[in-house]
A and B are shown apart, each in its own frame.
Chain A
């Protein structure tokens, strides 16, 4: 385990983490923690998880050497193709892990929150796979923005409940899911989609997503002769693909880790989701972390064109990596991300999710030495974002 950057027995990463939950959730969180620690060493669990990832998700996802990108930027650029997973993003890795846990906890009903709908779709998918009831909370505004994903979840048998409180987006969907769980503690498991929430969620989600960097290391060794690249990049909202992409490189201090947040219309415009630039330490959704808030401690609604990065906080491990400078946190604006998405279409024939395009956008701001190896997590595919791309570029 990562002694330096990992979690302690109370669920903390340095100053961040913990489980700031109302007493109503304590038995659930405690049972989940115990079961999670148990399955970590359980061969049956591992075997089932590995097999589903292989046969159902289609792992390992390719590590693709993007030659035209490499020419353009003067380094060896690799895309870790999470966009090729079943359901179209990295979210399925965690949903598979958690549904197997839920089964072992004897839970019959699954709830989830979703922003862009990718995690909702992944959760609805694994519930269909296991024949479990599925309820997905989604902000009323996001339901309009991501209508095709709402229909997809319904087709998969999930009930999609609009979150109508507060700002009617991801943070409110998360609140509603937590309220549901408080009222249904015995039969329900809450599959959180990002590396946020009370311990053990951030650790568990990171672990289930760590398959990304586990594979990338092996693939790099095959393709470059070294498992360690110079740079690893990923976009970060709550931070699940980023923590999965960083996980197995954390202790290799020569590898520079770069997390790209959504700057929205610009960090200082008041329409941004660049949490590390704009946030302060506090508590959100059960974890001590960095979040965007007023001086009075009220959570500020973030903005990004990408619904998946539109979250006012970051996972506690990211907050720690930021604070101790193990990873660099930068940002890309809506326009920079859209342009980067279009570039990936034109140079590599890949339409990335706008979330992932934020990571690609940062390449423009970097300078490389010849021979540098750079891995970027292409966390999802852009089908869900076609409307936005088409409107923006006028195709």
Chain B
């Protein structure tokens, strides 16, 4: 079992994951941010590696990626930074990014390196099921990495069942069909979608992401899923002064301490 699988075996509700772009706002604060997030109570982390053409991302994450690239972030630099990951961070960590940088790095080398530094899973929005099964699944498994699939309100039941079979940690439910950073609009149809997924009794836990930016949207997501992911809202937080010191407040605003 990797750390993700252990986490989901032990904690079923109100999970909170935070996404941030490595190398933003500064090149070398990746681990400091990760440590602050763990200390503030985040259950797991998604560390984004930047790409020049992030088509599934809205302006906030696009700009953070651009800045990170300007700062000199690359997969090589990131893996170098993550060498100390497991000396400082104990919660599960996923890498999130687009397929092209991985293809250039080499899929085997990428997975080996990720496993070596203690990464537990990978989210690649533009890696579809067919290509994953044919080209990548074996390498992921050999390195004990979970691949996380996305499900949207328009994903068919048959396809969700297939994704459930291929998943081994959790399924990433998109709150709507949108790019990152959009506003969550909990309409009746979205509630129907959450209910529909819940009624499917999937083998894997579900975590809701996209549009989770405050306590209200977080709570709503947790009614239907095992937890939620905050991305753009946290990346915006990283643009503020003293962002490292105020990470506990940010987390507390999303999920107040009991």
Contact = CB atoms under 8 A, between A and B. Distances in A.
Interface of A: 10, 18-24, 26-27, 165-166, 171-172, 175, 178-179, 182-183, 185-186, 280-286, 291, 293, 295-299
A175 B54 CA distance: 8
Contacts of B99: 20, 283
Given A284-B53, A298-B52, A22 B126 contact: yes
Given A183-B178, A284-B53, A296-B74, A24 B152 contact: yes
A96 B93 CA distance: 48
A280 B103 CA distance: 10
A283 B136 CA distance: 15
Given A23-B125, A183-B177, A298-B101, A178 B55 contact: yes
Contact of B103 (A22, A175, A179, A282): A282
B131 interface: yes
Interface in B171-195: 174, 177-179, 182
Nearest to B131: A18
B155 A23 contact: yes
Nearest to B150: A23
B69 interface: yes
Contacts of A24: 56, 150, 152, 154, 174, 177-178
Contact of A283 (B54, B100, B149, B178): B100
Given A293-B104, A296-B74, 5 more contacts: A24-B56, A284-B53, A297-B100, A297-B105, A299-B53
A296 B131 contact: no
B90 to A, nearest CB: 29
30 contacts: A18-B131, A20-B126, A20-B128, A20-B131, A22-B55, A22-B125, A23-B128, A23-B150, A23-B151, A24-B56, A24-B150, A26-B128, A26-B152, A27-B152, A165-B59, A166-B53, A179-B55, A182-B56, A185-B154, A185-B177, A282-B100, A283-B100, A285-B55, A293-B100, A295-B104, A297-B100, A297-B103, A298-B51, A298-B101, A299-B100
B113 to A, nearest CB: 14
A297 B102 contact: yes
Contacts, number: 109
A212 B17 CA distance: 53
B66 interface: yes
A296 B53 contact: no
Contacts of B52: 166, 298-299
B75 interface: yes
Contacts of B75: 296-297
Contacts of B100: 282-284, 291, 293, 297, 299
B10 interface: no
Contacts of A183: 177-179, 182
B71 interface: no
Contacts of A22: 55-56, 125-126, 150
B55 A297 contact: no
A179 B155 contact: no
A267 to B, nearest CB: 21
A10 B56 contact: no
Q: Which of B55, B125, B128, B154 has the most CB of A within 10 A?
A: B55
Interface string B179-218: 1001000000000000000000000000000000000000
A284 B100 CA distance: 7
B64 interface: no
Interface centre among A10, A23, A27, A282 (most CB of B within 10 A): A23
Contact of A175 (B53, B74, B159, B174): B53
Contact of A27 (B76, B103, B154): B154
B127 interface: yes
A299 to B, nearest CB: 5
Contacts of B69: 298
Contacts of B30: none
A374 to B, nearest CB: 38
B51 A297 contact: yes
Contact of B155 (A26, A293, A297): A26
B154 A282 contact: no
Contacts of B127: 20
Contacts of A27: 152, 154-156
A165 B55 CA distance: 11
B179 A283 contact: no
Contacts of A298: 51-52, 69, 101
A286 B99 CA distance: 10
B62 A165 contact: yes
Contact of A23 (B54, B74, B152): B152
Contacts of A285: 53, 55
A344 B56 CA distance: 44
Contacts of A182: 55-56, 177-179
Contacts of B178: 24, 182-183
B109 to A, nearest CB: 12
A113 to B, nearest CB: 12
Contact of B101 (A18, A175, A284, A296): A296
A295 B51 CA distance: 12
B176 to A, nearest CB: 8
Contact of A21 (B76, B126, B177): B126
Contacts of A21: 126, 128
A82 to B, nearest CB: 30
Contacts of A165: 59, 62
A318 to B, nearest CB: 18
Interface string B36-58: 00000000000000011111101
Nearest to A10: B130
A178 B150 CA distance: 17
B55 A175 contact: yes
A31 B58 CA distance: 25
Contacts of A23: 125, 128, 149-152, 155, 174
Contacts of B177: 24, 182-183, 185
